[in-house]
Chains A and B, each alone.
Chain A
């Protein structure tokens, strides 16, 4: 996982040093948002689908205990091995143990944000196991030794010329070739060899069905299927919140997922794994890693409805202009900013503040998570828990004191004075970051209050 001592604001400022690149990043993601709009506007029932999905996920959270048991029972009856991992460490240990038992030291992996969250690749590397990510975007960031910057579009921050250089260095493509067609073909040949030679495949899970014990994996590239169907052992890692009650509910979620994510009507492949193929076991790892704690946080449990479509990132005006790495956590953007503090308040205390609370995220969310309201609530929580600088607390207290007293407020006097003294964004101080790219508003001759007193 991306480790940094810098907070979101500092990392975002670095990202903004290259304005052309920010424009490019913003426009690329905005284009995806537009594709999403175009696609969802073809479905008059779109808002009803979102509401249904939200209700189904609420029902799952309110009955998660029983659904997990039902899933375990049915999956086991289907011949799938079910494992439980309390945290990231245990998840990684289980994967390692399964690989050791199968005498495997090289594994192919399709997209799984959970394994990013758990730091699986690093853990396995330390234990001498090589992991190759097979999603093209993930393979690219893996070669670049970077974490993904987006949960659906892992290398959205990378320019094709940079990818061309990486492929030249690692995959032997000719120098200075940046044509996506040629680079993708090179990756296809390289990863085909990987698929044919790796005996273990790990995939993520998009949905798991309690009623049937099956799970569904969605990809456009076909990499999850190539990996799983060619390997001797298939390991699937899933967060415990990925459950849905019945198979028919997949109809709702598969209609919402990809339209929200990329503006496609569905991913190319939506594969339903119910039983292992002959002699090739499937292991599914149910991972908690803080989810049961989040479930107990009344104000925040709603975030567990997330189906990881990434729509909130594509629409977020801050994400588009700060890049995924500025969030210094596996799941970036608005949803990441309400998930991460649950895992580590201190480390991610900056994230709920990396938002203007514009609310666009909540509107595109296919399961109607009140993301921006939760960002607001996390701010209150973080202040209460003491994760804000003392100076800020002092100035806030002073401001509150003045605003609570008409006498003090009026004593601040004529036009402009109170605001210039107290409003954090306009304090009359040349070091104020406002000045860097914006002029101060000019104080008028008289305030409205003064005018009103004269005229009424």
Chain B
């Protein structure tokens, strides 16, 4: 199975450990992983700001980079959701359609495609799981608290396979952290308040680490934790699933 590794630009530049853990984790399960070096970005920063029409270049590049693979896997719910919903190329729509269906967020790739049943991982800490909205409500990685439906959680089921992990409960299981892309600067007051409230919920329940499938949400909460001088850390779920 050939997998193209898609690493969001801010993960590439700020959180290489999340990307390394993703790569190593996939390789542990015998997947042949390649990181195409000419990849850039999914185009979401423009699209969510109302400039989807400027994402043509990104889309073409994405198709060029990832067309050869059986699957594309990324350690991000948000970027994957963007590709799933908005990857188009009028000149090559067939390829775009195929790609939209074979791009996967890491944890759902592990549970749905690789059907992982056990992990050789250990993380002896108290961990709070942040449900990022695009992963949860967009990609349906976990059941949403608004719906009357059976609970499930793809990232949660993987975390439960990790030895000695202590997963905490939260007061609000799937409230948004307030990052929201450019929202975090255009609506600074509300965004920061949302982030503070989300972090407080984790702190209140004794988290040592806050994890999730989206580094962007975690980056936002990290900024708030660090400003408050907290010792609590954020960590991408791939790093926990890959931890020894």
- Interface, chain A (partner B; CB < 8 A): 8-9, 12-13, 15-16, 19, 22, 26, 30, 37, 40-41, 43-44, 46-47, 315, 317-318, 321-322, 352-360, 362-364, 376, 379-384, 388, 392-393, 396-397, 399-406, 409, 415-419, 423-426, 432-434, 436-444, 446-453, 456
Contacts and interface: CB of A to CB of B under 8 A. Distances in A.
Contacts of A397: 54
A19 B227 CA distance: 17
B167 interface: no
Nearest to A420: B13
Interface in B2-36: 7, 9-17, 19-20, 23, 35
A406 B48 contact: no
B16 A446 contact: yes
Contacts of A439: 222-223, 226-227
A354 B187 contact: yes
Given A318-B190, A380-B50, A388-B50, A441 B14 contact: yes
Given A448-B16, A451-B16, A400 B57 contact: yes
Contacts, number: 239
Contacts of B223: 434, 437-441
B194 interface: yes
Given A9-B187, A415-B16, 8 more contacts: A356-B133, A379-B48, A400-B54, A409-B9, A423-B9, A437-B224, A440-B223, A447-B12
A241 B40 CA distance: 45
B186 interface: yes
Contacts of A322: 189-190
B180 interface: yes
B95 interface: no
**Closest 8 pairs between A and B when the two form their complex, measured CB to CB:** A404-B57, A438-B223, A356-B180, A379-B50, A363-B146, A383-B50, A406-B38, A433-B188
Nearest to B57: A404
B39 to A, nearest CB: 7
A360 B137 contact: yes
A379 B49 contact: yes
A19 B148 CA distance: 33
Nearest to A315: B146
A395 B57 CA distance: 16
Given A416-B13, A419-B14, A353 B186 contact: yes
B46 A400 contact: yes
A152 B37 CA distance: 53
Contact of B45 (A359, A383, A423): A423
Contacts of A384: 53
Nearest to A412: B13
Contacts of B14: 415-416, 419, 441-444
B176 interface: yes
B144 to A, nearest CB: 5
A440 B186 CA distance: 17
A321 B46 contact: no
Most B Cβ at <10 Å: residue of A353, A363, A437: A437
A336 B191 CA distance: 20
B1 interface: no
Contacts of A405: 40, 57
B101 interface: no
Nearest to B41: A403
B197 interface: yes
A264 B155 CA distance: 34
B48 A357 contact: yes
Contact of A353 (B35, B54, B55, B187): B187
Given A406-B39, A444-B14, A26 B197 contact: yes
A9 B57 contact: no
Nearest to B16: A448
Nearest to A452: B35
A449 B13 CA distance: 8
B49 A9 contact: no
Nearest to B226: A439
B176 A360 contact: yes
Interface residues of B, number: 77
B172 interface: yes
Contacts of B194: 317-318, 321, 356
Given A16-B193, A436-B192, A418 B43 contact: no
Nearest to B147: A363
Contacts of A409: 9, 40-41
Given A380-B52, A441-B222, A448 B7 contact: yes
A46 B148 CA distance: 6
A380 B46 CA distance: 10
Nearest to B33: A456
A406 B12 CA distance: 14
A182 to B, nearest CB: 33
A47 B148 contact: yes
Contacts of A437: 188, 192, 195-196, 223-224, 227
Contacts of B175: 317
B51 interface: yes
Nearest to B178: A356
Given A400-B46, A437-B196, A448 B58 contact: no
A65 B153 CA distance: 45
A324 to B, nearest CB: 13
Contacts of B40: 402-406, 409
Nearest to A451: B16
Contact of B10 (A22, A355, A419, A434): A419
A42 to B, nearest CB: 9
Given A322-B190, A396-B51, A449-B12, A37 B146 contact: yes
25 contacts: A12-B190, A16-B190, A37-B146, A317-B175, A353-B187, A356-B180, A359-B138, A360-B144, A363-B146, A380-B53, A381-B50, A396-B54, A403-B9, A403-B40, A403-B46, A403-B57, A403-B58, A405-B57, A425-B185, A432-B185, A437-B227, A438-B226, A443-B13, A444-B14, A447-B13
B49 A448 contact: no
A438 B195 contact: yes
Nearest to B224: A438
A396 B238 CA distance: 31
B100 interface: no
B121 interface: no
